[in-house]
Structure 1
């Protein structure tokens, strides 16, 4: 394997690894957000909340749901056939053979990199939304506790 092939292979492996990392992070954050939503629902039904606490808490829950929606879009499979196995499924056997022996690695690296960047951008936005939701929920708890005193 020459230097160029080694560099392309390393880049291809790196971007595939980044895609896997993104999906893992998004899945973990989905589980965290789900647990947080369950906790918020439990607390809201078991506490006597002030009107202001309900409004701020509902806003926090809404922002948290927006984060969940964004995370679901992040882990949603892309089956448009832009490359890889979705595209291979559309090819006849002789077309598949010709496609696979062609040097498409630079093209594939570019496609996978664009997918990874989009996933990381959505993941980053979802993390920001989760933090904002947490701040709102903490404020709602403070408002409710201050109103109970």
Structure 2
């Protein structure tokens, strides 16, 4: 993406990145939930060896932590001094004055929000990958123990 040439373009770009991140977060949260539900459904009906049980438990724990990170990254910040919570406390004249004088500050604040969301999403992806690898290991251990 090319560098924005105006504050309005920068503002729009950062808002679009936040929307993209929230969309990715929602999709990953649905995926993690499906993997958790599917793993639990399969694991409760299959006899597991001790190593498979340990690997699976750690895998599920990592997925639960990943889900927590994802939920935290989309959790609304109602006490922040920017965005919707700020607008809800101002009059129409104050909103106009704030927008005309503080657009650069709004871009900076939104950029910090976007980076926090990206960081949470990245950590959740890493945990999801690690949890999935442990679940695969648990499945292989269970299959090896059943043979």
Q: TM-score, normalised by structure 2?
A: 0.92
| Matched position secondary structure for 1:80 | coil
Structure 2 residue aligned with 1:136? 134
Deviation per CA, 1:80-123, whole angstroms, max 9, x where unpaired?
A: 231122112223455344334x3211110000000000100100
Structure 2 residue aligned with 1:112? 110
Structure 2 residue aligned with 1:60? 59
Gaps of 5+ in 2: none
How many residue pairs end up in the alignment? 144
Backbone CA RMSD of aligned residues: 1.5
Distance 1:20 1:93 in 2: 26
Structure 2 residue aligned with 1:91? 90
Structure 2 residue aligned with 1:82? 81
Gaps of 5+ in 1: none
- 85-94 or 75-84, which deviates more: 85-94
Q: TM-score, normalised by structure 1?
A: 0.90
Distance 1:26 1:9 in 2: 26
| Matched position secondary structure for 2:6 | helix
